[in-house]
Amino acid sequence: MSDRRPEVETKGPDSTVGASSRRSFLWKIWLGLGGLAVLEYIWLAADFLRPRGSGPADDAESIIIAGAVERFSPGSVTAFPTGKFYLARLENGGFLALSRECTHLGCTVPWIDDEARFVCPCHSSAYDMRGDVLNPPAPRALDNYAVRIENGIVKVDVSRPLKRRSFEYAQIVLP
């Protein structure tokens, strides 16, 4: 088999050092172009897979009008399923909008009124009314959303959850 292999690399009179280096140069060009085509495809695929639907949200859609300040009694937690958040009114009358997503693995945490705490059904992380961790494995407090109070109406901007390590007084919005 091997002795009958046709001689592809003809050693003609013009097969000099210059020709062989030209051949290897062309070979490298082809190799480079092939590599470039592969990279282009990977780039294209990465672009197709880029997170969709997370672009700058429409202002009108991302602002949820929760209602008048008086509707929420101090020390209460109200769920807003459309905005996927809880509006907590603390004892001092201040407002805090909390994400309902557990910071451990993203399960939805229900508010347990009798115990006055959020308890995650997945791994029993617990949070207090301000979103602070009462019980691990949750690594940090529940995300919160920006709250605005305009003319006695509470509005929540749900376009971007604000990550935080723990509750701080500055996060409260007072009417």
> Which residues contact other proteins (rule: CB under 8 A)?
49-54, 81, 84, 100, 104-110, 119-124, 136-137, 139
Q: What is the CA radius of gyration of the chain?
A: 31
Q: Cβ of residue 77: shortest distance to other proteins, in angstroms? A: 15
Q: Cβ of residue 169: shortest distance to other proteins, in angstroms? A: 22
Residues near 149 by beta carbon (within 8 Å), at least 6 away in sequence = 69, 95, 155, 173, 175
Q: Cβ of residue 62: shortest distance to other proteins, in angstroms? A: 12
Q: Which is nearer to other proteins, 75 or 110 (CB)?
A: 110
β-pairing, 117-119 vs 126-127, is antiparallel
- What DSSP line would sit under 10-27, residue for residue? ---TT--HHHHHHHHHHH
Q: Cβ of residue 28: shortest distance to other proteins, in angstroms? A: 27
Q: Which is nearer to other proteins, 13 or 106 (CB)?
A: 106
Q: Which is nearer to other proteins, 13 or 56 (CB)?
A: 56
